Amino acid sequence: MSEDFVRIFDTTLRDGEQSAGINLNCAEKLQIAHQLARLQVNVIEAGFPAASPGDFEAVRSIAEQISGPVIAGLARTRTEDLQACAEAVRPAARPRIHTFIATSDIHLQYKLKMTREKVLEEVKRAVAVARSLVPDVEFSAEDASRSDIDFLVEVFKIAIAEGATTINIPDTVGYAVSKEFGAFVREIITRVNAGPDVIWSVHCHNDLGLAVANSLEAVASGARQVECTVNGIGERAGNASLEEIVMALRTRKDRFGVETRLDTKRLYGASRLVSRLTGVQVPPNKAIVGGNAFAHEAGIHQHGVLCNKATYEIMTPEDVGAPGSQLVLGKHSGKHAFRKRLEDLGYNLTETQVGEAFSLFKELSDKKEMVTDGDLEALVVDDILAVVPSRRFVLKDFSVNLAGKGRATASVTLHDGTEERSDAATGNGPVNASYAAMMRIVGFKPELVSYKITAVSEKSDAVGEADIVLKTDKLVARGRGASTDVIEASIKAYVNAVNRLYQLAAAKGVTLHASNAA
């Protein structure tokens, strides 16, 4: 009989990465996967192997390197999808194929153009094929919450008969409301009557802001797996937020009677890591992990907390790993303390990467009196993890001169792997001029879709993070750079984005040249 606790199925690396503007490389996905394993999630959905060669390699790398959680890959019911997924997750100690097909009439008519009878045949065949490839199969009925319940019961019975042991009931478009969804889940579980060895799962989207509420109602109705993402990222308005699900079940165990087995002290670190690597900032009022989640400004609140924290805090910062204060490192700090702090922040670096990061840290320490956690995270994410393997260009030098009325001249030198190439240009400000000079060097003119500069602390010598998105033809790449000089950070971000465009172009067999100018 299955143990009575709620399993956390994390889909940050699959559904979360499908958010508009998020494009993680394999190294970044591995960093997140390592942190998810430390968090002790039960399942990591590592990606959609059949979607692209890059997705396949990322899933395979995670399957090879991450131990502890089940490693799942998503697959449509197509045989080629199932085979690609099985091959990608094969190195995992506990591999899973997660296959799905839509079941709502609107999806059958307009997307699949299939009859219900054909869908039943497809479910029977696909689950049987998946079960022949791996011992652990999950089946999902896409758009279940808008499907006919009689048809759903028939679909799920067939999937279970063919070997699926986890059955997922998704609210794919965030249409359900809580009591309705809870009753829906309860009726399905009762009518399918699968027995204790089948785990019932839910996957709720947040289009009406109800993803967490619907997931919790499903748990109260018998679901024992919740599919969610760190910070609630995902398609459209996102998914159910992992940290909110976990802490709601823990804080209100009196209501739900079950909880997860996650190491909740890792939640804050996981949130920060995912935010940094995806570029999706956590709102200050975000439950559990937002900057204001444990802040008290009103006098009456402050007085109550000083008397007894329980007056206004139903959980403590320590419960989720939120720091009461930041550890500050300086020029006299050693490598051991440096490595330990990076581990505490959720980063999993090789010895080579630690050495490179420590050298950069020492350089930064000469420029700043104190180096904060934010500085360290910017350094690691932007100067270590963001580096593209086989970089096409490396920044060697730059200079900027400002004239009157905002006009500027910039000279930039890049190394292309063979020689140094320099050029200069004028522009409306130093960043614009620098980017114009680099366009001349790289030989094509990508469109600058977005440009953001963020200070990682409130001090005047704060490290500035530049986060940009470049687009050329159908290729879109995000670049990051960090420095106490915001011009240098901006230039580094541009070089990083250009290198990623070359990497994407190589994977798709596209040539970048001047005719691709936006």
Query: Which residues, other chains included, contact 337 with Cβ-Cβ below 8 Å and sequence gap of 6+?
Result: 329
Calculate mean pLDDT across residues 450-468. Answer: 82
DSSP string, 332-363: T--HHHHHHHHHHTT----HHHHHHHHHHHHH
Q: Is residue 517 over pLDDT 50?
A: no
Lowest mean pLDDT among 7-16, 302-311, 340-349, 497-506: 302-311
pLDDT of residue 317: 87
- Tell me the two tokens of residue 243: 């940290």
Mean of the per-residue pLDDT values of the chain? 90
- What percentage of residues in the chain have a pLDDT greater than 70? 92
pLDDT of residue 111: 96
pLDDT of residue 1: 44
pLDDT of residue 60: 98
pLDDT of residue 170: 98
Strands 407-415 and 420-428 come out as antiparallel
Lowest mean pLDDT among 103-112, 243-252, 482-491, 504-513: 504-513
> Residue 324: pLDDT band by 50, 70, 90 thresholds?
low
pLDDT in tens, 156-215: 999 999 999 999 999 999 999 999 999 999 999 999 999 999 999 999 999 999 999 999
pLDDT of residue 56: 96
Lowest mean pLDDT among 31-35, 81-85, 110-114, 361-365: 361-365
Calculate mean pLDDT across residues 276-303. Answer: 77
Q: What global pTM score does this model have?
A: 0.83
Calculate mean pLDDT across residues 483-506. Answer: 91
Calculate mean pLDDT across residues 383-411. Answer: 84
List beta partners, residue 142.
102
Distance of CA 200 to the CA centre of its chain: 24
Calculate mean pLDDT across residues 304-317. Answer: 70
Residue 24: strand, helix, or coil: coil
pLDDT of residue 504: 84
Q: Is residue 305 over pLDDT 50?
A: no
Tell me if 152 sits within 8 A of 188, measured CB to CB: yes
- Tell me the two tokens of residue 290: 């937002």
> Residue 282: pLDDT band by 50, 70, 90 thresholds?
very high
pLDDT in tens, 91-109: 999 999 999 999 999 999 9
> Residue 8: pLDDT band by 50, 70, 90 thresholds?
very high
Distance of CA 353 to the CA centre of its chain: 22
Residue 477: strand, helix, or coil: strand
pLDDT of residue 316: 87
Lowest mean pLDDT among 23-27, 196-200, 366-370, 425-429: 366-370
pLDDT in tens, 16-69: 998 887 888 899 999 999 999 999 999 999 999 999 998 999 999 999 999 999
Q: Is residue 300 over pLDDT 80?
A: no
List beta partners, residue 7.
225
How far apart are alpha carbons 12 and 398 in whole angstroms? 38
pLDDT of residue 9: 98
Other residues' Cβ atoms within 10 Å of the Cβ of residue 13: 26
Q: Is residue 376 over pLDDT 90?
A: no
pLDDT in tens, 232-242: 999 999 999 99
